[in-house]
Chain A
Amino acid sequence: MNIAKPNSYRSGPDDRGHFGIFGGRFVAETLMPLILDLEKAYTAAKADPSFQGEMNGYLKNYVGRPSPLYFAERLTEHLGGAKIYLKREELNHTGSHKVNNVLGQIMLARRMGKKRIIAETGAGQHGVATATLCARFGLECIVYMGAVDVERQQPNVIRMEMLGATVMPVQSGTRTLKDAMNEALRDWVTNVHNTFYCIGTVAGPHPYPTLVRDFQSIIGNETKAQMQEIEGRLPDSLVACIGGGSNAMGLFHPFLDDPSVEIFGVEAAGHGLTQLHAASIAGGRPGVLHGNRTYLLMDADGQIQDAHSISAGLDYPGIGPEHSWLHEVGRVNYLSATDDEALAAFQLLSKLEGIIPALEPAHAIAKVMELAPKRPKDHLMVVNLSGRGDKDVPQVGDILRGKK
């Protein structure tokens, strides 16, 4: 495909929410006025210094930002190549990057006078972050979660309930993240007047991919400043895992117009790309689902196919539309890691650095294990450690014991 290179990779989307052919607003008429309201409210909030000021206060004192940029010395020695830095998003309150976006959306919901918050969740990290901020601001919180995910992410289900949220197990379809999103959209269409839909990733109808990206861009902005302080220059490469792609977009976006920075997104290859997986770019093609056009896993009739990943947070048959565009224009390289590779990385990071990663960023670590040894020792590689592994301890424990 011959696609002209844009002057900037950071100027999108256009005013209709398009990144090239991707994105858009493919929603039922009932939701259209709500999405237009949200866009208006977000534009006004962005222009209001008090909005950013209030958010900065919570980011510092409630979330615990900035998150450290940590030199992973033993991992670097072990791999024998690039100098590896971990962006420690797992140290945020609630244990992942998800809270950055949820804080922004909850503050928007408050500005819009919405008292009832709904969310979808896969691994439960977005659900926990939403439940947390709803508790903090006294808002009703309903979290839709696929029944399969409720089963494999019990610790997060219990956390959400302790925080006062109602967790709704979704029994329709494949009973994972995509069905949780369908069910959240059905709730929203039914409760239009008082409800704010807090989407957890850089997907959905415009303006969600943009506003989630903007709220997550603090990851990349901090990384840029921290690397400047530590090493006096830009990093040479960035690596992040991708389900919908919000942690990756947050790290990547501030660097898109720095041509010296190589960027790698890592999708979940599940059992392998020729079998069940969740790698939409590697194994999918453009289609329309959940309000946007993007790369999707589907059959010849346009029916959405089951995704599979060991990690509930990556178990989604699509990807944010801006990632689809960055793939087509060639700015970001999209790779994939299998369940087994992620498990090996999970164990390696735990043992070498004393950091138990979530299974999601373990996919990114898995590709670092391939990329870093091929790079020189003065190559600076940043990997987004988007979440901590506490939630995965029961599941990984079972798998490892079963294998022994």
Chain B
Amino acid sequence: MTTRIDTRFAELKKQGRAAFVTYVMAGDPDLATSLEIVKALPKAGADVVELGIPFTDPMADGPSIQAAGLRALKAGMTLRKTLDLVREFRKDDNITPLVLMGYYNPIYIYGVDKFLADAKTSGVDGLIIVDLPPEEDEELCLPALKAGLNFIRLATPTTDDKRLPAVLANTSGFVYYVSIAGITGAAAADANAVGEAVARIKRHTRLPICVGFGIRTPEAARAIAERANGSVVGTALVDALKNSLDADGRATAKTVNAVAELTAALAQGVKGAQQAAE
């Protein structure tokens, strides 16, 4: 099984550069604007698109992404509409890898088998589900792999060498290294500590390693891209979106551009990175 994720990382490896991975919340601030944003991301330089599934109780997210999820839910977003959004996106773009990121309950309630079938036909390539550690692999990870989707696992500073093999066992696509112990949008990642952690994980896997949490600027994205196979930026993009909204939280003429411009600047940072030798 080769997904768009595998193909994209193979290409990037040939080009000798790291991936720029963007995160935005599906349906923030409304479905139509959100679709325009997602379409704009690859054009602005995103190599992989992560799309958040809104959830009322996002335990691993900071205030920015919590608020983004609530804006989306208030505008009527659901998991079904998130899959519709992916299907629309795929009409124009059949190359850019797209990963859904979120929490398990909306998927569990949708029905795991039905969700996997619908996600696959919509054009989803992979899943990052924050509250499904390897101990719960039978829930979604193993069925997802069987359905031809990548299941991208989070590794964290608390994942020690003893635990890494279990975390990596059923991971595919790439490994998402969470650069800090904390929630999204909190402390800034220390690039050197990240470099050491990436080297440690590389001893256990051949998969690409992308790093996220705490990366906000082109400089930070570049520093991480010099030490890993990809930089993930989420909260900074969500904040740029939020700052473009009107007083009632609605999209303005500036909203899509605000996200696209920051994406372009961050992508420049990543593309300027000198890739570490493999």
Residues of A within 8 A of B (CB): 16, 24-34, 172-173, 178-179, 182, 185-186, 189-193, 287-291, 293, 296, 298, 300-304
Contact = CB atoms under 8 A, between A and B. Distances in A.
B167 interface: yes
B73 interface: yes
A173 B56 contact: yes
B133 A29 contact: yes
Contact of B131 (A26, A300, A304): A26
B151 to A, nearest CB: 13
B156 A301 contact: no
A33 B70 CA distance: 30
Interface in B111-142: 130-133, 135-136
A189 B108 contact: no
A70 to B, nearest CB: 40
B95 interface: no
A189 B182 contact: yes
A36 B63 CA distance: 28
Given A26-B104, A288-B131, A34 B158 contact: yes
B105 A189 contact: no
Contacts of A302: 55, 79, 105-110
**Interface of chain A, helix or strand or loop or mixed?**
mixed
Given A288-B131, A302-B105, A28 B136 contact: no
Pick the most buried of B56, B130, B182, B186: most chain A CB atoms within 10 A of its CB: B56
**Interface of chain B, helix or strand or loop or mixed?**
loop
B105 A29 contact: no
B163 A287 contact: no
B275 interface: no
Contact of B158 (A25, A172, A192): A192
B108 A288 contact: yes
A34 B104 CA distance: 21
Contact of A186 (B60, B155, B158): B60
A190 B181 contact: yes
Q: Which 4 A-B pairs give the minimum distances between C-beta atoms?
A: A302-B109, A302-B106, A190-B182, A30-B156
B59 interface: yes
A30 B178 contact: yes
Contact of A33 (B73, B78, B130, B163): B163
Given A172-B66, A190-B183, A301-B78, A29 B158 contact: yes
B154 interface: yes
B136 A189 contact: no
Given A287-B105, A303-B73, 20 more contacts: A25-B133, A26-B132, A26-B136, A28-B59, A28-B60, A28-B130, A28-B131, A28-B156, A29-B154, A30-B154, A30-B178, A30-B181, A173-B56, A178-B57, A186-B59, A186-B62, A190-B183, A288-B104, A290-B59, A300-B109
